[in-house]
Amino acid sequence: MIGSLRGVLLDRFARGELLVEVGGVGYRVVVPTGTLGVVGELGAPVFLHVHTSVREDAIVLYGFATGEERTCFEALLGAHGVGPALALAILSVHSPTALRRAVVNDDGDALSEVPGVGKKTAARLLLELKSRLELPDVGAELVAVGGGTALAAQSEVRAALAGLGYGADEVREAVRGLPHEGSVEELLRAALRSLAAVR
């Protein structure tokens, strides 16, 4: 079983794959969009944490920029009804820290931002991931920033932006850049300013 790859980036494909050459052998590796964004240019050295999936008809390598991403991917695979494609989609929308925060805060709306995840699926995932993800460190972090209050405010901002007609990608980027503290009104103003700057 392959656990990691260190080599040279030969190619990248729009469908979320990298071609990594290791010792003269080219490995095709499926990666989340976050990993696509951090690997270097073609010809640059690359290191990936790998999850190897062995099926009857194929061996597929899934690569991640960090070990934490791979851990979250494997935890997601253990949830009922979650296959590799959905697990990758979730990690393409939420970083491991954001995913853990959503689970700690029971934030089904955050999970529902992922294409293919409805409200029922989000609620089921929240329940299952509580037992599969390591959450103590995130809990301590949340207490440090005022418990769930900050995340609740961000959830309200997310809902307000969606109500104003902003798309899921725009909402996600705007909320991702918000500070951990502040009232709903302050955070909403900050989100609207960032959206206006992009447009």
Buried b (16+ CB within 10 A) or exposed e, 148-178: bebbebbbbbbebbeeeebeeebbbebbeeb
Q: Inter-axis angle of helices 149-163 and 184-198, to 10 degrees?
A: 50
The Cα–Cα gap between 37 and 188 comes to 27
Q: Into how many domains does the chain fold? A: 3
Question: Does some domain include residue 70?
Answer: no
| CB contact set of 39 (below 8 Å; sequence gap of 6+) | 9, 12, 18, 31, 46, 65
- Residue 32, judged by CB atoms within 10 A of its CB (0-12, 13-18, 19+), counts as buried
- Give the CA distances from residue 16 to residues 32, 46, 50, 83, in Å, rounded to whole numbers and listed in that order: 7, 16, 15, 16
Query: Does some domain include residue 168?
Result: yes
Q: Which spans in 41-183 are helix H? A: 67-77, 84-93, 96-104, 108-112, 119-132, 136-144, 149-163, 168-176
Domain end (from 109, 135, 161): 135
Domain that holds residue 152: 145-193
- Check residue 179 and give its pLDDT: 77
Which of residues 18, 43, 65 is at a domain's end? 65
Measuring CA to CA, which residue among 76, 75, 168 is closest to residue 115?
168
Q: Is residue 170 part of a domain?
A: yes
Which pTM value belongs to this model? 0.66
Whether residue 36 is contained in a domain is answered as yes
Contact call for residues 60 and 74 (beta carbons, < 8 A): no
User: What pLDDT, in 10s, does the model give residues 103-140?
Assistant: 888 888 888 888 888 888 888 888 888 878 776 444 44
pLDDT at 73: 92
One digit per residue, the tens of pLDDT, for the chain of length 199 reads 899 999 999 998 877 899 999 999 999 999 998 888 788 889 999 999 999 998 888 899 999 999 989 999 999 998 888 899 999 999 988 888 888 888 888 888 888 888 888 888 888 888 888 878 776 444 444 444 444 555 667 767 777 777 777 777 777 778 777 776 777 778 888 888 888 776 5
Domain containing residue 44: CATH number: 2.40.50.140
